[in-house]
Structure 1
C-alpha cells in the first residue's frame, strides 16, 4: 500500500512539472520578407508540447540552413499559464547576382553571370537564370520549391541550353568540337528529417557535336545529333552547423544517373559520384574545409567520357576541360582564416591544395596511380563576404600546378568553392 501511494505521488508530481513546462505560445520575430507561416511550417515544436531544448536546437539549425535566414536564435519567457517560446531570425538579402570567371596562362578566358532570388514570395523558393560565355553563349534557368507541398515535399524544374568548345581526346591527338546540350529536367524533392533528403527525377536532353578542328578518327563521327533520357537519384546527409561564415560538421551527397541514348553512336551508361565534405572550426577565426569526390561511370572506350578535369569543377588553375575519364578521385582541402571582420563585412584568406586522378576510358583502376593522370595544384585565395546577403562571397583563387605539363591561373566566383 505504501509503495502504491508513493507511485501515485510521483506520477501526480511529474504531471504537475510537465504542465509547468508546457509551451502555450510560439512567436516568430525578426522576419520582414519571409512569411511567418512559411517559417512556422518548418519548425517541429508545437503549442501544447513540453519544452525540449534538443528539439528547439534542431529547429534553430533548420532555420539557419534556409537561404532567407542569416542567423537564428530562441528565447523562452515564463508566463502565468506556461511558457512562451520566441524564435528570432536575422534575414538575408536574397536577390543575388552570381559570377564566375576563370583564366589560365594559355590566355583562356570565360565567364558566367546570373541573377537569383532565393526567397521568392517570402517562401524560400529559388528562381534564377544564368548566362555563360565560354567561346559560345549559353543560357540556364531553374526554379526550386523544396517546401511546395508541406515541410517535406517539393519540386524543382531546370532548363539549360549550353554551348561550349569541347576537347575530344583521341589516340592520335586531340580534336575540338562545338558541343550543344539542351535539357529539360523535373525533380521531386523529399526531406525525411533535418539530416536526410532525396531528389528523384527525369531529364530529357539533346546533344549536338560539330567537329571544328584537330585530328580525326574514322570510328569517331565528326557531326552527330542525339536525344537522350536521364534518370537521376540524389541522396544527401547533412549535419552541418552554420555560424555566419564559419561551418562545422559533415555532409555527404550521392548523385546517381542512368542515361539512355536513342542512337548507337553514344552508348547507354550509368554514372555515380559521392562528395564527402568535412568542416571544422580552428580556434576563433579559422575554418578547415575538405571535399573528397569518388566517382565511377560505365567504362566505355569513348572519347566523350563523362568525368572532366576542369577549373570550375575540381582543380583550381588547371584550365577548361583538359582531360576526361570514366572514374575520378579528387581531394580539395583548404584552410580559411578571418583576417578582418566588422559589422557586415568579412575578409577571409584561403590556402588550399587540390589534387586528383582519373581512370582512362576503357582503362582499369591502375590508371588512378598513373602519374600522367594525376594533377596537384596548391594555391592561395581571398574571400570578400557580406554576412547579411545570402551566399554573398566573392572569391578569387590562384592555383599553381606542380605535376607534369601543369598550368596555372586564376579562378573567380561567387560562393565558396565547396
Structure 2
C-alpha cells in the first residue's frame, strides 16, 4: 500500500508539473516476458531513456501493450536511480500465442458448417501474426494470413492474405431463390499505419476472381458468372478500449470503405462502406456490458448478388446461413456477460444477448429498413469458457431464438467472443 501511494504521488506531481526539478527516465526495463522480445517492447513504447517521466505516456504504453495478443496483463513500477533520474519497469504477463481457432454453427433447418484454423500471434517474438484456416461449409475452403503491424517502425507495418473460399450461396431472384456454388480466389496486400495511440489506418488492394455456378436444373436459365475484379480498401480505426483479462471497457469505432471494379454487366462495379461502433462498460466486479452497432450502405444496384448478407456467424445468432442479402444494413448486438466462476486461469462466463438487424433490398429505398419482412430480432443465452493465459482462448456457445417474422433458431459455436 505504501509503495502504491508513493507511485501515485510521484506520478501525480509529474503530470501536474509541480515538481521543482524535471524528472527524467534513466532506463526502461522489461520483466516477465519470455517469448515477447524485450527489444520489441522498447521499440513500440513511448517511454525512452532521457525523456520526461510522464504518467500519461506510461498509461498509454500499458494500454498499447495490453492490446497485443501475446500480453494477458501488464503493470509498471518506478524506482529512483540517481539524482532526478528514474528507472521504469514494465512487468508483463504473457499469453500462449499458438492458438487453434474453431467456428461451428447449426440451425433448426439442420444446416452445419465449421471452420478450423491455427495461428501464431507472436511470430519471432515481434507480435506478428501468421496462420490460416480450413473451412467446410458444404464445400472446402482455405486461407493463409500474415500480419506485421510494426514491421517497418513503431507506426508502419504490412499484411498479406491469400484465400480460396467456396460456399453454397442462395441468390434471391424475384420469383425464386436459387442456390449457387460460389468460389472466390483472392490475394490482398495492405499497408498498416498508426497515426498515434488511438488512430490507425489500413489501405491496400485485393485482386480476386468470383465464380458463380448454378446448382441443380437451371430451368429458368439463370446466369453463371466468372469475373476478375480489383478491390480498393481503406480502414480507419479509433480505439479507446482498455482490457483487464476477460473484461473490456471503453469505445471503438472502425470504418471500412471499399471500391470494387468489374467487367460484367450483372456483377457491376460498386462502392460499399460500413461503420462498426463498439461500446463496453464494466458493471460491478464481475459484469461486462458489450455492444456493437453496424451501419452500412452500398451502391443500390438492383442485383441478386447484393454485398450485405444476413448470416448466423456474422451478425444475428440463430438466423441461419446467408438467408438474405441487401444493399444496406443496420445491426445491433448487445449482450451482458457475467463471470460465474473464476479459479486461477479458468473463467466461466454466462451471457444473455439480443441480436437485431434490418436490411435494404437491392434496388429499393431506405423505407425497407422499417419493413417487418426485413427486421430480424433474436434474443438468446450462451456461455463462455475462458483460459486467461492463452490468447483468445474463449470457447463460446450461443443459442439464438427468433421472435420476428418467419423466425428460426439455432446454436452458434466458436472461438473468441462473438464481437
Q: TM-score range by the shorter chain?
A: over 0.9
1:241-268 CA-partner distances (Å, limit 9, x unpaired): 0000000000000000000012223110
Q: What is the match of residue 52 of structure 2?
A: 50
Q: What is the match of residue 147 of structure 1?
A: 150
Give the alignment partner of residue 119 of structure 1, picking from 118, 122, 134: 122
Pairing of 1:160-179 with structure 2 (within 5 A): 160-179=163-182
Whether the 8 Å contact between 1:175 and 1:216 is mirrored in structure 2 is no
Q: What is the match of residue 281 of structure 2?
A: 280
Q: What is the match of residue 265 of structure 1?
A: 266
1:80 deviates by: 2.5
1:399 deviates by: 0.1
1:98 aligns with 2:101: yes
Give the alignment partner of residue 196 of structure 1, picking from 183, 187, 199: 199
Q: What is the match of residue 187 of structure 2?
A: 184
Q: What is the match of residue 137 of structure 1?
A: 140
Number of equivalences: 402
Q: What is the match of residue 411 of structure 1?
A: 412
Distance 1:308 1:295 in 2: 11
Q: What is the match of residue 251 of structure 2?
A: 250
Q: What is the match of residue 293 of structure 2?
A: 292
Q: What is the match of residue 216 of structure 2?
A: 213
Distance 2:71 2:186 in 1: 32
Distance 1:25 1:214 in 2: 72
1:278 deviates by: 0.3
1:338 deviates by: 0.2
What 5-or-longer segments of structure 2 have no aligned partner?
Answer: 1-16
1:18 deviates by: 2.7
1:166-211 CA-partner distances (Å, limit 9, x unpaired): 0010111110000000000000000011110000000000000000
Q: What is the match of residue 346 of structure 1?
A: 347
Distance 1:98 1:16 in 2: 51
Distance 2:18 2:63 in 1: 30
What 5-or-longer segments of structure 1 have no aligned partner?
Answer: 1-13
Whether the 8 Å contact between 1:71 and 1:91 is mirrored in structure 2 is yes
SS at match of 2:41: helix
Q: What is the match of residue 3 of structure 1?
A: none
Q: What is the match of residue 10 of structure 2?
A: none
Q: Residues 22 and 364 from structure 1, CA distance in 2 versus in 1: closer, same or farther, beyond 3 angstroms? A: same
Whether the 8 Å contact between 2:336 and 2:352 is mirrored in structure 1 is yes
RMSD (CA atoms)? 1.3
1:143 deviates by: 0.1
Whether the 8 Å contact between 1:173 and 1:215 is mirrored in structure 2 is no
1:335-391 CA-partner distances (Å, limit 9, x unpaired): 000000011100000000000000000000000000000000000000000111111
Distance 1:265 1:349 in 2: 46
Distance 2:207 2:82 in 1: 60
Q: What is the match of residue 11 of structure 1?
A: none
1:388-411 CA-partner distances (Å, limit 9, x unpaired): 111110000000001111110000
TM-score, with normalisation over the residues of structure 1?
A: 0.94
1:215 deviates by: 7.1
